Structure 1
Amino acid sequence: MKDKTIDYILRATWQAVARMYNEEASKYDASMATGFALLSIDKEGGTPSTALGPKMGMEATSLTRTLKSMEDKGLIIRKKNPEDGRGVLIYLTDFGKEKRELSKNTVLKFNETVKQHISDEKLKHFIEVAETINELIQEKNIFTQTEISESDSIISLK
């Protein structure tokens, strides 16, 4: 990926990962979003619906559609939060717990395959770089710099 910008590499890689997960999930009449939701819901205690969006990095409208589809398929049930009558807790059904295990195994398989092809040291550096990028974004340190010279960038635009 020589001469590619960092954001291009991140976007292209994430799109490939998402496509891979969606292809696998489609074999089970599901989607990557469904699998991610299954993994994000506490399998015993349930999860407040308001906590799921931020946990998954999803917008409320997308999450609402995903949860509706999951409810229609019998993967989850919604119950009023006993501690806050205005809130809703999302629980996995027995079927949802089965599918959660399938999602978990799929993610573990991906991680194991990557680890077989990339050294621990390279993975450690990848994680450090990703964490630094996230920190720069969260601290709003990307566009607050006054000037960036071409020599300061890791990969220059051509």
Structure 2
Amino acid sequence: MRDKTIDYILRATWMSISKMYNEQAAVKGSTMATGFALISIDPIEGTPSTALGPKMGMEATSLSRTLKTMEEKGLISRRKNPEDGRSVLIHLTDFGKEMRDFSKNVVKSFDTVVKQNIEAEKLNTFLEVAYQINDLVGQKNIFKQEAIADK
């Protein structure tokens, strides 16, 4: 993979991780998206539905489907926000909290194994580079610079 593009390596790595998470979630009849949503919901206060999408990087339509499925499976309940009657808070049910713990343990297990198998210095370098790439993409200057260079 040394001759592949950075984008290819990132995508292939994420696809491997995503597949691994989905396999683990399937053990409990769930999905990675559901697990990620469970982890993103505050287990005590609940989380406004409008805050979940940006927090998870999900589009509203995908999030709506995920929340609907989670509600049907008894993982969450929707309640009016007492501070703003126009918005809805997503709360975990007892079953949702149980599944949230399962999801957190899956993520922590992955994290532990990676840390046990990759030197701290290499892992820190990887994280620095990943944050820098994320910043570069977030600045939305990559293709603007390319357009200028093509002139």
Shift of 1:140: 1.3
Q: Which runs of 5+ in 2 are unaligned?
A: none
Instruction: Give runs of ≥4 in structure 1 deviating > 4 Å.
Output: none
TM-score, normalized by length of structure 1?
Answer: 0.91
Paired AA for residue 3 in structure 2: D
Residue aligned with 1:17, SS: helix
Q: Which has the higher helix share?
A: 2
Give the aligned length. 148
The one-letter amino acid paired with 1:139 is Q
Q: Output aligned runs, 1:10-49, within 5 Å.
A: 10-49=10-49
Cα distance between partner residues in 2 of 1:139 and 1:57: 16
Residue in structure 2 matched with residue 62 of structure 1 by the alignment: 62
1:90 CA drift (Å): 0.2
Matches of 2:59 and 2:32 in 1, distance apart? 15
Q: Alignment partner of 1:4: what SS?
A: coil
Counterpart code for 1:104: K
- Per-residue CA deviations over 1:26-62 (Å, capped at 9, x if unaligned) read 1101000000000000000000000000000001111
Give the deviation of 1:74 after TM superposition. Answer: 0.6
Cα RMSD, aligned residues only: 1.0
Identity %: 67
Q: Quick one: which amino acid aligns to residue 149 of structure 2? A: E
Unaligned runs of 5+ in 1: 149-158
Give TM-score, length-normalised by structure 2: 0.95
Which residue is equivalent to 2:88?
A: 88
The C-alpha deviation readout for 1:88-107, integer Å capped at 9, x for no partner, is 00000111111111001000
Q: What secondary structure, in the 3-state scheme, does the structure 2 residue paired with 1:36 have?
A: helix
